[in-house]
Structure 1
Amino acid sequence: MPDVLPLRQPTAPRSSHALTPTPAAGSPAPSPASDTPRLSSAQLFGQGSEVHIEHGDALYRLRITSLGKLILTK
């Protein structure tokens, strides 16, 4: 299993129900906030296809499917 990467804690509380609207077809995607960390899946997974993420007292499993999609399960 790959080493656990330290993640930066958010500086302001976030709403758990906040949704970002999907841009209309042909519209440019909104650019991410400059202070938001951005990681590639290669950085997270390395040569593997699964990582475990500790969040509070829960352990989550993030994996890449055979179709290249990401699945997060508890």
Structure 2
Amino acid sequence: MIRSLPLAANAACSSPDGPLVVPVAAKRAGAPCPRLASASILGGGNEIEIDHHGAIYRLRITSLGKLILTK
């Protein structure tokens, strides 16, 4: 399953608590970066594909519970 999350500055992201918006000004001011639960990103599964500028990356949970991002 491929899910698309808009992660650009000033973009709304899906989260269980509603949209998450990261304004450009907050990033410049040194504000902490947004935190998302891995379960919300992975949608309850163990693996997703991420399209980043036309390149496909795979984010998966290993058998030891660690996250691995591969191209």
**TM-score, normalised via structure 2 length:** 0.61
Q: Could you tell me which runs of 5 or more consecutive residues in structure 2 were left unpaired when the two chains were aligned.
A: 11-23, 25-29
Aligned 8 A contact 1:51 1:63 in 2: yes
Scaled by the length of structure 1, what TM-score is found?
0.59
**Runs of 4+ that moved beyond 4 A:** none
* Contact 1:60–1:73 (CA under 8 A) maintained in structure 2: yes
- Show structure 1 runs of 5+ residues with no match: 12-32
Q: Distance in 2 between the 1:2 and 1:59 partners? A: 10
Deviations 1:30-50 (CA, angstroms, capped at 9, x unpaired): xxx535221110110121000
Q: Which residue of 1 aligns with 2:59?
A: 62
Q: Distance in 2 between matches of 1:57 and 1:8?
A: 15
Larger radius of gyration: 1
Q: Which amino acid aligns with 1:67?
A: L
Aligned-residue identity in percent? 57
Equivalent pairs counted in the alignment come to 53
1:72 equivalent in structure 2: 69
**1:36 and 2:33 are equivalent in the alignment:** yes
Choose between structure 1 and 2: higher helix proportion. Answer: 2
- For residue 7 of structure 1, report the CA deviation from its aligned partner: 1.3
Residue identity in the other structure for 2:3: D
1:3 partner letter: R
Partners in 2 of 1:41 and 1:57 — Cα distance?
23
